[in-house]
Chains A and B, each alone.
Chain A
Amino acid sequence: METLQKLEILSSAAKYDVSCSSSGSSRMNTPGGIGNAAKAGICHSFTEDGRCISLLKVLFTNSCKYDCAYCINRRSNDIPRAAFTVKELVDITINFYRRNYIEGLFLSSGVVKSADYTMERLANVAKQLRLEHKFNGYIHLKAIPGASPELIHMAGLYADRLSVNIEIPSEPNLQLLAPEKDFQSVLNPMGLIKTGIEQSREERRIMRKSPVFTPAGQSTQLIIGATPDSDRQILTLASGLYTQKSLKRVYYSGYNPTNLYDKRLPALAAPPLRRENRLYQADWLLRFYQFGVNEIVNDTNPDLDLEIDPKLGYALRNPHLFPIDVNRADYHMLLRIPGVGVKSAKMILAARKFRRLNSANLQKIGVVMKRAQYFITCNELPAASVQDLSPERVRSILTMSERRKQLPDAVQLGLWG
């Protein structure tokens, strides 16, 4: 089979893995070598679905011994199958890299023969790129559940990031859709990777030249909308992964109706993009805004409000905390104001050391006053706050202007709209 044809098959087969990040590693180029990693990551292109291309994202092979209901590559699907040779993959990666098309390689695979067999192949591609071709660009490898600790360790020595996908957010539903898999087989490699990272960090504190292990950490992916799991279940799981497994990222992938013949799956008209967007917003609140899961979703609100972003939702459920005085409040509280992001909050802290800020200053700094105005006081006569107006009223004002420019649900929104 021609390389071109293989690339078509094996990139199409990889497209539902949404992870695209190339950040978190500052690997340097070596003498006579090619490439380095940019700490902040670089996107190189954007596909017609508006997602970024940063890495060459392909499967090593799309043959798979598993038959997971949600996966296009399941063994019972009658689709063309292909496998790269190591040389082909290395050639494409390096030649794409030299032309500044990509930051590096994201290599995943269907499971053939055994977990170890597959893992070894993936790790070998990375090894060859690093050692034979002195490639120092970004490498993201999939850790195959069930692979031996030695092989995962080897992968971690050559990769910048490893990931194991959980895919289905709860054990019973995973049992239903992928009876051959279980949670433990996914959580085990995560634990191994976490330990590897901690050990390497410890060794490097003592000996600076000790080998780096997965410097950009690990990530995972959850499929949204293929099962009836609530946002509360999903976010609780994500939060646990961040705190207990020290994950760098959890990706949420709106379920794209595939395998329509499988009646265990819901019949969706389109992927739940709005819900996916809200989950990402909630995820940001967990990671950058000092929110706890229970502040975002709880018993009475197990699912995120699709109409308003989760931070606004929190503010409307807790009107007693507002209005917040932007000239006095600490960072933690500034972050809770709808319309104030991490950047604006830091700028407010820095700018108010020089002079007291008014609403015109805030607007120019980048605060979204349309939302923030109901939740702040600043250096001028106070406007009507959420307490004066009632949360219901503020909600209807804010959703009205949203509704006017409302896009159909199938359109993906920018992260903070």
Chain B
Amino acid sequence: MLEYQYDGTFPGLLTAIFDAFNRKEQPDAILRPGAQGLLFASVYAVETSEEKADRVWAGIKRVGGNTTCEHLYHAFLSLDEQVEMAIFSYSKHLFACNAPVMTDLAHPDVLKVHKLDRMVLREAHRVLMFLRFEQAADGTYFAPFAPQYDVIPLVIGHFKSRFADQSWIIYDTKRGYGFYFNTQTIEQITIENPTFGSATGKLRQGTEHPDEDKWHELWRSYFKHISIAERKNLTLQRNFMPKRFWKYLTEKRL
């Protein structure tokens, strides 16, 4: 049994793929730090190399095009247990065919990558749906969110073009980093001394804009009155809007 260990980054994984091709090896597992190793396996430690990673990435792009690159990167973001091996086998299949294979859905690894890609994109879309801004006293709009996967970087472009005239912060409370937009440029930030509650991400009393409560009240009232009582169907509501998002929703949190 042969086990590759890499540093858990995407370039690290691409380096692992490079090394496997280079060494003409077929690893039985490619493991990120902290992953459960194989018993009695011989271990090869991958040393991340930007250069090797770039070459593999360029190769994938040349054969599979941009769409393939996006699929693989999105799938990687899922941090699924088998994602590394799926991406490795997908790449092997891609290079063997020397043509895009993303629609070869009867191939187990292509299907796996396809499904993971969709899963991650669905989560990214949910950020667009369920993210809520709250205006702080200084006028900045603040939005906490804790997506299941690290997808905030995929969606900030959407918020940049939509809310181009307001400064905002979108903060991933689960991963402890976020993005600040000052109406001109976006920068990545880490908040050291949060002025928001850790449970709901709500701005603490006194740090929010004086009008904020009024808008919350209006929105909650709208949310309540637009529903038709005779058609009440809480299961359907939860299917569309899973409970894990409720803590950040103005209309749902207490």
Contacts and interface: CB of A to CB of B under 8 A. Distances in A.
A98 B104 contact: no
A35 B215 CA distance: 18
Interface string A49-64: 1111100110000000
Interface string A21-61: 00000001100111110100011111111111100110000
B227 A49 contact: yes
Nearest to B133: A99
Contacts of B158: 38
Contacts of A38: 128, 158
Interface in B14-48: none
Interface residues of A, number: 58
Interface string A84-97: 00000000100110
B162 A35 contact: yes
Interface in B201-252: 215, 217-219, 221-223, 225-237, 239-241, 249-251
Contacts of A351: 103-106
Contact of B141 (A7, A35, A99): A99
Contact of A256 (B104, B221, B228): B228
A375 to B, nearest CB: 20
Contacts of A233: none
B128 A98 contact: no
A354 B104 contact: yes
Nearest to B241: A46
B237 A46 contact: yes
Contact of A45 (B103, B162, B218, B241): B241
B157 to A, nearest CB: 11
A38 B165 CA distance: 18
Contact of A100 (B106, B132, B235, B236): B132
Given A34-B165, A45-B251, A351-B104, 15 more contacts: A35-B163, A45-B130, A48-B227, A48-B233, A49-B237, A50-B236, A53-B226, A96-B215, A98-B163, A270-B230, A271-B231, A347-B103, A350-B103, A354-B104, A412-B231
24 contacts: A4-B218, A11-B226, A29-B161, A33-B165, A34-B164, A45-B241, A46-B236, A48-B232, A48-B234, A49-B228, A49-B232, A50-B240, A51-B228, A53-B226, A57-B226, A99-B132, A99-B215, A101-B132, A256-B230, A256-B231, A351-B104, A357-B106, A361-B105, A411-B236
Interface of A: 3-4, 7-8, 11-12, 14-16, 28-29, 32-36, 38, 42-53, 56-57, 92, 95-96, 98-101, 256-257, 270-271, 273, 347, 350-355, 357-358, 361, 364-365, 411-412, 414
